[in-house]
Homo-oligomer: A and B are copies of this chain.
Amino acid sequence: MKPKISDVAKVAGVSPTTVSRVLNNRGYISQETRDNVERAMKKLNYFPNDVARSLFNKRTNLIGIIVPQTSNPFFGELTFHIESICASLHYKVLLCNSLNRVDKEKSYWEMLMRNQVDGVIAVTYNRGLVNAHEKPLPIVTIDHYLSPTIPVVSSDNYAGGVQATELLIAKGCQHILHINGPLKLETPANLRRKGYETVMQEHGRTAITYEIANALNRGEQQKVIAQLFREHPQVDGIFASDDLIAATLIAEAQKYGKHIPKDLKVIGYDGTETCQTLLPSLTTIRQPIELIAQKAVEVLLKEIEGDYEQEEMDICLPVQLIEGTTT
Protein backbone atom coordinates (compact mmCIF):
# COMPACT_ATOMS: atom_id res chain seq x y z
CA MET A 1 0.00 0.00 0.00
CA LYS A 2 1.21 3.45 -0.87
CA PRO A 3 1.44 5.73 2.18
CA LYS A 4 -1.09 8.57 2.37
CA ILE A 5 -0.94 12.12 3.73
CA SER A 6 -2.73 10.88 6.87
CA ASP A 7 0.05 8.32 7.45
CA VAL A 8 2.69 11.03 7.16
CA ALA A 9 0.70 13.21 9.57
CA LYS A 10 0.52 10.41 12.13
CA VAL A 11 4.26 9.70 12.02
CA ALA A 12 5.13 13.40 12.16
CA GLY A 13 2.65 14.00 14.98
CA VAL A 14 0.86 16.81 13.12
CA SER A 15 -2.49 17.22 11.36
CA PRO A 16 -3.01 16.24 7.68
CA THR A 17 -3.63 19.94 6.93
CA THR A 18 -0.16 20.78 8.22
CA VAL A 19 1.39 18.11 5.93
CA SER A 20 -0.54 19.54 3.03
CA ARG A 21 0.72 23.05 3.89
CA VAL A 22 4.32 21.84 3.89
CA LEU A 23 3.81 20.15 0.53
CA ASN A 24 2.23 23.22 -1.04
CA ASN A 25 4.39 25.75 0.78
CA ARG A 26 1.33 27.61 2.04
CA GLY A 27 0.74 29.35 5.38
CA TYR A 28 3.23 29.70 8.24
CA ILE A 29 5.09 26.52 9.18
CA SER A 30 7.96 26.45 11.69
CA GLN A 31 11.24 24.96 10.55
CA GLU A 32 10.90 22.27 13.22
CA THR A 33 7.49 21.16 11.92
CA ARG A 34 8.76 21.24 8.35
CA ASP A 35 11.73 19.03 9.30
CA ASN A 36 9.42 16.66 11.16
CA VAL A 37 7.11 16.28 8.17
CA GLU A 38 9.99 15.80 5.75
CA ARG A 39 11.55 13.15 7.98
CA ALA A 40 8.21 11.33 8.15
CA MET A 41 7.83 11.46 4.35
CA LYS A 42 11.28 10.02 3.94
CA LYS A 43 10.69 7.31 6.52
CA LEU A 44 7.42 6.22 4.89
CA ASN A 45 8.80 6.65 1.40
CA TYR A 46 5.94 9.01 0.63
CA PHE A 47 5.82 10.89 -2.67
CA PRO A 48 3.34 13.73 -3.21
CA ASN A 49 0.86 12.98 -5.99
CA ASP A 50 1.67 15.25 -8.97
CA VAL A 51 -1.44 14.05 -10.78
CA ALA A 52 -3.78 15.38 -8.08
CA ARG A 53 -1.68 18.50 -7.81
CA SER A 54 -1.86 19.20 -11.54
CA LEU A 55 -5.65 18.95 -11.51
CA PHE A 56 -5.67 21.55 -8.76
CA ASN A 57 -3.11 23.84 -10.44
CA LYS A 58 -4.48 23.46 -14.00
CA ARG A 59 -0.85 22.94 -14.98
CA THR A 60 0.66 19.51 -15.62
CA ASN A 61 4.25 20.58 -16.35
CA LEU A 62 4.04 18.02 -19.11
CA ILE A 63 5.46 18.69 -22.59
CA GLY A 64 4.66 16.41 -25.52
CA ILE A 65 7.37 15.70 -28.11
CA ILE A 66 6.36 14.26 -31.46
CA VAL A 67 9.29 13.06 -33.61
CA PRO A 68 9.39 10.56 -36.50
CA GLN A 69 11.61 8.11 -34.60
CA THR A 70 14.31 8.37 -31.93
CA SER A 71 16.23 5.55 -33.62
CA ASN A 72 17.26 8.08 -36.28
CA PRO A 73 20.41 9.75 -34.90
CA PHE A 74 19.21 13.30 -35.63
CA PHE A 75 15.90 12.81 -33.82
CA GLY A 76 17.55 10.76 -31.06
CA GLU A 77 19.96 13.61 -30.39
CA LEU A 78 17.26 16.28 -30.67
CA THR A 79 14.99 14.36 -28.28
CA PHE A 80 17.85 13.92 -25.82
CA HIS A 81 18.54 17.66 -25.73
CA ILE A 82 14.87 18.69 -25.55
CA GLU A 83 14.17 16.27 -22.70
CA SER A 84 17.32 17.26 -20.80
CA ILE A 85 16.53 20.97 -21.07
CA CYS A 86 12.90 20.36 -20.05
CA ALA A 87 14.02 18.29 -17.04
CA SER A 88 16.35 21.07 -15.89
CA LEU A 89 13.32 23.40 -15.95
CA HIS A 90 11.10 20.88 -14.10
CA TYR A 91 9.08 19.91 -17.14
CA LYS A 92 8.39 16.27 -17.91
CA VAL A 93 8.34 14.87 -21.42
CA LEU A 94 5.80 12.54 -23.03
CA LEU A 95 7.54 10.95 -26.01
CA CYS A 96 5.72 10.12 -29.28
CA ASN A 97 7.32 8.37 -32.28
CA SER A 98 5.07 9.11 -35.25
CA LEU A 99 7.06 7.42 -38.05
CA ASN A 100 5.82 10.40 -40.13
CA ARG A 101 2.45 8.67 -40.38
CA VAL A 102 -0.64 10.89 -40.45
CA ASP A 103 -2.73 8.42 -38.44
CA LYS A 104 -0.10 8.14 -35.70
CA GLU A 105 0.44 11.91 -35.54
CA LYS A 106 -3.29 12.38 -35.16
CA SER A 107 -3.74 9.81 -32.41
CA TYR A 108 -0.66 11.05 -30.51
CA TRP A 109 -1.97 14.58 -30.81
CA GLU A 110 -5.30 13.57 -29.27
CA MET A 111 -3.53 11.62 -26.54
CA LEU A 112 -1.47 14.71 -25.65
CA MET A 113 -4.63 16.83 -25.48
CA ARG A 114 -6.38 14.30 -23.25
CA ASN A 115 -3.36 14.32 -20.96
CA GLN A 116 -3.52 18.10 -20.58
CA VAL A 117 0.06 18.75 -21.66
CA ASP A 118 1.08 22.38 -21.24
CA GLY A 119 2.57 22.42 -24.74
CA VAL A 120 3.90 20.39 -27.68
CA ILE A 121 7.16 20.37 -29.64
CA ALA A 122 6.48 18.66 -32.94
CA VAL A 123 8.58 17.47 -35.85
CA THR A 124 5.75 16.43 -38.10
CA TYR A 125 5.62 16.21 -41.85
CA ASN A 126 1.91 16.32 -42.36
CA ARG A 127 0.05 19.57 -42.69
CA GLY A 128 -3.47 20.04 -41.48
CA LEU A 129 -2.91 18.22 -38.22
CA VAL A 130 -3.07 21.29 -36.04
CA ASN A 131 -4.94 23.65 -38.32
CA ALA A 132 -8.04 21.57 -37.90
CA HIS A 133 -7.85 22.07 -34.16
CA GLU A 134 -7.23 25.83 -34.38
CA LYS A 135 -4.11 25.71 -32.22
CA PRO A 136 -5.78 24.67 -28.97
CA LEU A 137 -2.54 24.80 -26.97
CA PRO A 138 1.02 26.16 -27.15
CA ILE A 139 3.02 24.46 -29.89
CA VAL A 140 6.39 24.87 -31.61
CA THR A 141 7.51 22.94 -34.63
CA ILE A 142 11.03 22.10 -35.71
CA ASP A 143 11.86 22.34 -39.40
CA HIS A 144 8.25 22.17 -40.58
CA TYR A 145 5.56 24.78 -41.17
CA LEU A 146 2.29 23.46 -39.77
CA SER A 147 0.26 26.67 -39.91
CA PRO A 148 0.97 30.42 -40.13
CA THR A 149 0.26 30.86 -36.41
CA ILE A 150 2.73 28.25 -35.20
CA PRO A 151 6.38 29.23 -34.63
CA VAL A 152 9.09 27.22 -36.39
CA VAL A 153 12.67 26.61 -35.26
CA SER A 154 15.10 25.36 -37.89
CA SER A 155 18.69 25.48 -39.03
CA ASP A 156 19.53 27.75 -41.95
CA ASN A 157 18.64 25.13 -44.52
CA TYR A 158 18.98 27.51 -47.46
CA ALA A 159 22.52 28.53 -46.47
CA GLY A 160 23.34 24.85 -45.92
CA GLY A 161 22.17 23.97 -49.43
CA VAL A 162 24.19 26.86 -50.87
CA GLN A 163 27.37 25.92 -48.98
CA ALA A 164 27.12 22.24 -49.91
CA THR A 165 26.61 22.96 -53.61
CA GLU A 166 29.31 25.64 -53.74
CA LEU A 167 31.81 23.23 -52.18
CA LEU A 168 31.08 20.56 -54.83
CA ILE A 169 31.53 23.17 -57.58
CA ALA A 170 34.76 24.46 -56.01
CA LYS A 171 36.05 20.87 -55.95
CA GLY A 172 35.56 20.68 -59.71
CA CYS A 173 32.43 18.53 -59.96
CA GLN A 174 30.76 18.74 -63.37
CA HIS A 175 27.56 16.78 -62.81
CA ILE A 176 26.06 17.58 -59.43
CA LEU A 177 22.81 15.97 -58.27
CA HIS A 178 20.71 16.35 -55.16
CA ILE A 179 18.80 13.69 -53.20
CA ASN A 180 16.04 14.74 -50.84
CA GLY A 181 12.89 13.53 -49.09
CA PRO A 182 9.39 14.21 -50.41
CA LEU A 183 9.14 17.57 -52.15
CA LYS A 184 6.84 19.66 -50.04
CA LEU A 185 7.56 23.30 -50.66
CA GLU A 186 6.33 24.39 -47.24
CA THR A 187 8.99 22.58 -45.20
CA PRO A 188 12.18 24.47 -44.37
CA ALA A 189 14.10 21.27 -45.15
CA ASN A 190 13.23 21.82 -48.78
CA LEU A 191 15.12 25.08 -48.56
CA ARG A 192 18.19 22.84 -48.78
CA ARG A 193 17.00 22.00 -52.27
CA LYS A 194 16.30 25.69 -53.02
CA GLY A 195 19.87 26.52 -51.99
CA TYR A 196 21.17 23.81 -54.33
CA GLU A 197 18.98 25.00 -57.21
CA THR A 198 19.98 28.64 -56.81
CA VAL A 199 23.71 27.90 -56.89
CA MET A 200 23.31 25.55 -59.86
CA GLN A 201 21.39 28.21 -61.76
CA GLU A 202 24.00 30.88 -60.94
CA HIS A 203 26.59 28.62 -62.54
CA GLY A 204 24.42 27.94 -65.58
CA ARG A 205 23.89 24.32 -64.65
CA THR A 206 20.81 22.12 -64.58
CA ALA A 207 19.56 21.24 -61.12
CA ILE A 208 18.24 17.70 -60.78
CA THR A 209 16.74 16.40 -57.55
CA TYR A 210 15.96 12.76 -56.85
CA GLU A 211 13.13 12.31 -54.42
CA ILE A 212 12.82 9.55 -51.80
CA ALA A 213 9.18 9.21 -50.80
CA ASN A 214 9.97 7.72 -47.38
CA ALA A 215 13.43 9.06 -46.54
CA LEU A 216 13.64 6.99 -43.32
CA ASN A 217 13.46 3.72 -45.27
CA ARG A 218 16.87 2.42 -46.28
CA GLY A 219 15.52 0.02 -48.91
CA GLU A 220 13.78 2.90 -50.62
CA GLN A 221 16.95 4.97 -50.44
CA GLN A 222 18.86 2.19 -52.19
CA LYS A 223 16.26 1.93 -54.95
CA VAL A 224 16.35 5.65 -55.71
CA ILE A 225 20.16 5.69 -55.62
CA ALA A 226 20.35 2.76 -58.06
CA GLN A 227 18.01 4.64 -60.40
CA LEU A 228 20.18 7.77 -60.07
CA PHE A 229 23.37 5.89 -61.04
CA ARG A 230 21.54 4.24 -63.97
CA GLU A 231 20.16 7.50 -65.31
CA HIS A 232 23.26 9.62 -64.60
CA PRO A 233 26.36 7.43 -64.92
CA GLN A 234 28.44 10.60 -65.32
CA VAL A 235 27.44 12.00 -61.88
CA ASP A 236 30.54 13.16 -59.97
CA GLY A 237 29.03 15.14 -57.07
CA ILE A 238 25.99 14.50 -54.87
CA PHE A 239 24.48 16.63 -52.12
CA ALA A 240 22.35 14.35 -49.91
CA SER A 241 19.75 15.96 -47.68
CA ASP A 242 20.83 13.89 -44.68
CA ASP A 243 23.84 11.89 -43.49
CA LEU A 244 22.13 8.50 -43.53
CA ILE A 245 21.24 8.94 -47.20
CA ALA A 246 24.85 10.05 -47.83
CA ALA A 247 26.13 6.89 -46.09
CA THR A 248 23.84 4.63 -48.14
CA LEU A 249 25.02 6.50 -51.23
CA ILE A 250 28.68 5.83 -50.40
CA ALA A 251 27.99 2.12 -49.88
CA GLU A 252 26.05 1.88 -53.17
CA ALA A 253 28.72 3.85 -55.08
CA GLN A 254 31.31 1.30 -54.04
CA LYS A 255 29.17 -1.45 -55.57
CA TYR A 256 29.28 0.48 -58.86
CA GLY A 257 33.08 0.68 -58.61
CA LYS A 258 33.03 4.43 -58.04
CA HIS A 259 35.92 5.66 -55.90
CA ILE A 260 35.13 8.35 -53.35
CA PRO A 261 36.17 11.17 -53.60
CA LYS A 262 38.08 10.64 -56.89
CA ASP A 263 35.11 9.59 -59.07
CA LEU A 264 32.29 10.86 -56.89
CA LYS A 265 32.18 13.51 -54.18
CA VAL A 266 29.48 13.24 -51.51
CA ILE A 267 28.24 15.71 -48.91
CA GLY A 268 25.53 15.08 -46.32
CA TYR A 269 23.47 17.10 -43.85
CA ASP A 270 22.90 16.95 -40.05
CA GLY A 271 26.34 16.24 -38.56
CA THR A 272 25.11 14.32 -35.51
CA GLU A 273 27.64 13.12 -32.96
CA THR A 274 26.79 9.54 -33.87
CA CYS A 275 27.62 10.19 -37.52
CA GLN A 276 30.82 12.01 -36.59
CA THR A 277 31.85 8.90 -34.62
CA LEU A 278 30.72 6.18 -37.02
CA LEU A 279 31.50 7.96 -40.30
CA PRO A 280 34.00 10.73 -39.49
CA SER A 281 35.17 10.87 -43.12
CA LEU A 282 31.83 12.30 -44.30
CA THR A 283 31.74 15.93 -45.37
CA THR A 284 28.51 17.39 -44.02
CA ILE A 285 26.53 20.46 -43.03
CA ARG A 286 26.18 20.38 -39.28
CA GLN A 287 22.95 21.55 -37.68
CA PRO A 288 23.22 23.13 -34.22
CA ILE A 289 21.04 20.42 -32.69
CA GLU A 290 21.40 21.43 -29.05
CA LEU A 291 20.68 25.07 -29.93
CA ILE A 292 17.59 24.06 -31.93
CA ALA A 293 16.35 22.17 -28.85
CA GLN A 294 17.09 25.15 -26.60
CA LYS A 295 15.26 27.62 -28.83
CA ALA A 296 12.27 25.33 -29.26
CA VAL A 297 11.88 24.89 -25.50
CA GLU A 298 12.42 28.63 -24.93
CA VAL A 299 9.74 29.67 -27.42
CA LEU A 300 7.33 27.02 -26.14
CA LEU A 301 7.72 28.15 -22.53
CA LYS A 302 7.13 31.75 -23.61
CA GLU A 303 3.94 30.63 -25.34
CA ILE A 304 2.89 28.76 -22.21
CA GLU A 305 3.59 31.79 -20.02
CA GLY A 306 1.74 34.00 -22.47
CA ASP A 307 4.63 36.40 -23.18
CA TYR A 308 5.29 35.25 -26.68
CA GLU A 309 6.08 37.77 -29.42
CA GLN A 310 5.05 37.53 -33.03
CA GLU A 311 8.51 38.35 -34.43
CA GLU A 312 9.73 35.00 -33.13
CA MET A 313 7.59 33.09 -35.63
CA ASP A 314 10.53 31.82 -37.67
CA ILE A 315 13.79 31.18 -35.85
CA CYS A 316 16.63 30.27 -38.19
CA LEU A 317 19.93 29.05 -36.69
CA PRO A 318 23.36 28.97 -38.36
CA VAL A 319 24.84 25.80 -39.88
CA GLN A 320 28.49 24.80 -40.19
CA LEU A 321 30.33 23.06 -43.02
CA ILE A 322 32.43 20.13 -41.72
CA GLU A 323 34.91 18.96 -44.33
CA GLY A 324 35.80 15.30 -44.25
CA THR A 325 37.44 13.26 -47.02
CA THR A 326 34.38 12.43 -49.12
CA THR A 327 34.64 15.70 -51.11
Contacts and interface: CB of A to CB of B under 8 A. Distances in A.
Given A71-B77, A76-B73, A247 B114 contact: no
Interface in A72-119: 72-73, 75-77, 79-81, 83-84, 87, 92-97, 99, 104, 108, 110-111, 113-116
A143 interface: no
A48 interface: yes
B115 A50 contact: yes
Contacts of A81: 71
Contact of A114 (B50, B72, B87): B50
A71 B110 contact: no
A111 B97 contact: no
A209 interface: no
A108 B87 contact: yes
Task: Please give me the 6 A-B residue pairs with the lowest Cβ-Cβ distance, nearest first.
Answer: A76-B76, A278-B278, A47-B113, A71-B77, A71-B80, A95-B95
Contacts of A94: 92-95
Interface in A162-189: none
Interface in A227-277: 243-244, 247-248, 251, 272-275, 277
A116 B52 CA distance: 10
